[in-house]
Amino acid sequence: MKISIVTPMFLFVALSGAQLRAQDHKYPPIGEYLMAADAETALAKSAAPPNVSDHATIKLLSLSGYQVAHEGTNGFVCMVMRGFAAPTYTPSQLRDLVYDSALRAPICFDPSAARTVMPFYELRTKLGMEGKAPEQIAAGVQAAYVKGELPKRSEVSFA
Amino acid sequence: MWSADQNLGGGVGHWHPHMMVFCPYYENSMLGNNPFGAPLPQVTDDAGTPFAVVVIAVNEKLAIKAK
């Protein structure tokens, strides 16, 4: 019962917040998306238990996209996703999270996801950092997927 | 994911620590139509597409603080 009461409020707050930002339709300065390297590394590693993240590759966001800051040994890759990782299609209201420079979503991709999923988020980030709007990001992702420039998603993977 | 310091934006802010499962073409109906934001397995992103994301919340006590 608690879930049914809480969820509509959660959904309302989440969607209305995104809708408010969507009215701007403008990216904040790119510097607002960046972090100090030490803080970003710590945040990225908090995405998974130490037995995973202590041995993972760490990627940090720079003005030229995500760059490897530390090479790992277990095939996992940890990074902090920004608003650019918003949904590509649905929920459509949340696509405007690309404009939210405060969003920080630490994630550790398992080896399979690092190969097949991470490139998708890196492309979304590249397009967002170029100033593309959500619908342009979706078009770019779709085109890259169709052309085989992104790995085909044929299996389940984890983060 | 498991970070205690995540900020998922959009008025959501911090959410439950969670696993993400990349399940191509999954629809939320395949998981019981659990509502968005509930601490239950659900397709949060791009349902029915190659990029569908399933989120599974885990115990709050498992959240990991950045250090």
- So what's the ipTM on this one? 0.95
**Nearest Cα residue to A67 out of A111, A34, A98, A99:** A34
Q: What is the pLDDT of residue A23?
A: 53
Nearest-Cα residue of chain B relative to residue A2: B38
- Judged by CB atoms closer than 8 Å, whether chains meet at A106 and B49 is answered as no
Q: Tell me what the pLDDT averaged over chain B comes to.
A: 95
Q: What is the pLDDT of residue A10?
A: 41
Q: Higher model confidence: residue A76 or residue A3?
A: A76
Q: What is the pLDDT of residue A1?
A: 38
Tell me the pLDDT tens digit for each residue of B14-40.
Answer: 899 999 999 999 999 999 999 998 999
- Judged by CB atoms closer than 8 Å, whether chains meet at A156 and B36 is answered as no
Minimum-distance CB partner of B11 among A16, A90, A152: A16
- Which of A9, A35, A115, A153 to mutate to probe the B interface, most B CBs <10 Å? A153
Phi, psi of A107 (to 5 degrees): -150, 145
Q: What is the pLDDT of residue A27?
A: 97
Establish if A18 touches chain B: CB-CB under 8 angstroms: yes
Query: What is the end-to-end Cα distance of chain A in Å, rounded?
Result: 30
Tokens of residue B47, six digits: 């349902």
Q: What is residue A91's DSSP assignment?
A: S
**Nearest Cα residue to B12 out of A122, A17, A74:** A17
B63 neighbors B2 (Cβ within 8 angstroms): yes
Tell me the pLDDT tens digit for each residue of A134-147.
Answer: 999 999 999 999 99
A77 neighbors A106 (Cβ within 8 angstroms): no
Q: What is the pLDDT of residue A24?
A: 63
Which parts of A44-96 are beta strand (E)? 57-62, 65-70, 77-81
- Segment A83-97 shows an average pLDDT of 96
Tell me the pLDDT tens digit for each residue of A21-74.
Answer: 445 689 999 999 999 999 999 999 999 999 999 999 999 999 999 999 999 999
Tell me the pLDDT tens digit for each residue of A94-115.
Answer: 999 999 999 999 999 999 999 9
**Nearest Cα residue to B38 out of A24, A139, A21, A14:** A14
Sheet holding A65-70, edge to edge: A65-70, A57-62, A77-81, A105-109
Taking CA atoms, A5 is separated from A8, A39, A77, B31, in Å, by 7, 36, 37, 20
A16 has pLDDT over 70: no
Q: How far is CA A153 from the centre of its chain?
A: 17
Establish if A116 touches chain B: CB-CB under 8 angstroms: yes
3-state secondary structure of B53: strand
